[in-house]
Chains A and B, each alone.
Chain A
Amino acid sequence: MAVFKDASEVYLCIGGLFRRALTEPLAQKVSDSKISVRFNYSDPDSAITVDAKNPPPGEPYTIYEGDINFKPDVVMSMKADVAHQFWLGKVNLVAALAKGQMKAVGPIQSIIKLIPVIKPAFELYPQYLKEIGRADLTQ
């Protein structure tokens, strides 16, 4: 059974992680990367875009849920379950790519730029899930 029952749960948990991170030091690092990344999820179908390329003044980045009307620098595709495990820090990125559990479209340089930036989110995600009463998803 999939971790998330529908797209709204994906947006609450993973979208919420990006919103929660806005007040964390990692937001500045995401902002400094100046790239836009779209995460396409399946099962349930959903999409989240983090745009640090053209954020509103004073904001580190913009979060879009669902469709967007611009071409992001990088598009990463995976099952929402894999994304959930990834943000819990339980997915070996190299292994996931080799097994075809993830694919990435865009310059490899931009993808690599993201890796050190997003690492702090691995600790934040379970903490955030507990804050929203979804500690059941941290097991």
Chain B
Amino acid sequence: MLPEFLDFSMRTRVMGAAGLVRELGDQVTRLGVERAFIVSDRTLEKLGLVERARQGLTAGGVTVVGEFLDVPPNSDVNVVERAAAAAGEAGGDVLVAIGGGSVIDTAKGMNMVLSKGGNLMDYQGLGLINEPLGKLVAVPTTAGTGSEVTNMAVIKDPAARVKYSFTSPYLGPDLAVLDPEMTLGLPPGLTASTGMDALTHAVEAYLSVSANPISDGLALYAIRVINQWLPRATLVGSSVEARYWMLIGSNLAGAAFSNSLVGCVHAMAHALGGLFDVPHGLANAILLAPGLEYNLDVAAGRIAELAPSFGVWPSGSEEETARAVIEAVKVLAKSCGLPARLRDAGVSESSLNEAAEAAVMDGAIFTNPRPATAEELLEVLKKVV
């Protein structure tokens, strides 16, 4: 089959090594900048990870001109505006984001406002940013969102209780520093749920109606890496090797879904996050298997193609192999100690209608292989409540 169209972009230089943050300043100055504004959160500050980055920056001759350390777990439009104002006053020439997806996406939002002016919501839309923004460096402290390499940012509007997606080929950071020592302190539960987020990126990228040959290659290898290393990273958190490979898996998955986008699992997870603050990785972990079951009728062949990456030996019909893949997803989540029910994430059955209505309006639903209705997504949610 000749694909109708291919569009793949990745503007981020990716560097990875244990302890690389100690050389952060050396790498940042190679971008032609030397005045950094740090974006992070209070937990990472307490854990000493922000200080480690500060030292790495200054050792390389970079001046830290200011910091915004108040990024919450689900960042929002107001936080971005406040942080951008602080960075504007500080007057640096590079944003350095140290954190998980919320921190890095906040920095991306700040970069839009600082580079283009106006308010963050001015950049809601498609095809609106068509030129490079200011310099942005990302140091992920979780292995999940892949935000250090994606062309998008997801930011909540607390008033509308909706998560907005911002997208542009120029949103991706200039440099991503993958240092497994920065993720060693991540507790088992967060390691598992963020890892399942990365797995969901890879799986949905492969099943997306916008999948392309390049994103397919990245997604398949991401699944293989995550399936192999997530249990060890969860159970033996001190393993630098497992942490390194999970950062690689998350990064590969990020590069894949940044180009092919995702599907109904993310649509439902965004809805649950926007409405009820369900952690994104946990929602994806619970919904990935039922989401695959929902897509089985139209995508059994593509799901079956994931079998080798999950270590499943293809046998029987496409549908039988696809069902074995779904089983492998459930086993992986369970082996990492993750819950399988939404009620364990604080979601009640009475709230599912609202979640299904929001999910069918989420941007991620557009690339799901099966055109979804709110009624159908409600049934998916009911199965796992």
> A residues within 8 Å of B by Cβ?
74, 92, 94-95, 97-100, 102-109, 111-113, 115-116
Contacts and interface: CB of A to CB of B under 8 A. Distances in A.
Contact of B124 (A97, A108, A112, A115): A108
Interface of B: 4-5, 7, 124-128, 130, 162, 164-165, 167, 210, 361-363, 365-366, 371
Nearest to A74: B125
B371 A111 contact: no
B210 A94 contact: yes
B127 A108 contact: no
B210 A102 contact: no
Nearest to A102: B127
Nearest to A110: B361
B48 to A, nearest CB: 38
A95 B125 CA distance: 15
Contacts of B362: 109, 112
A57 B371 CA distance: 32
Contacts of A99: 7
Contacts of B164: 107-109
Given A95-B4, A95-B5, A98-B7, A112 B366 contact: yes
25 contacts: A92-B4, A92-B5, A94-B5, A95-B4, A95-B5, A100-B130, A103-B126, A103-B127, A104-B126, A104-B127, A104-B128, A106-B125, A107-B124, A107-B125, A108-B124, A108-B126, A109-B162, A109-B164, A109-B363, A111-B125, A112-B361, A112-B362, A112-B365, A115-B366, A116-B371
Nearest to B7: A98
Contacts of A92: 4-5
A105 B123 CA distance: 7
A103 B123 CA distance: 11
Nearest to A101: B127
B1 to A, nearest CB: 15
A103 B4 contact: no
Contacts of A74: 125
Which 4 residue pairs of A and B lie closest in terms of their CB atoms, listed nearest first?
Answer: A103-B127, A98-B7, A95-B5, A105-B125
B7 A111 contact: no
B5 A108 contact: no
A88 to B, nearest CB: 16
A108 B363 contact: yes
Contacts of B126: 97, 102-104, 108, 111
Contacts of A102: 126-127
Contact of B363 (A100, A103, A105, A112): A112
A107 B157 CA distance: 12
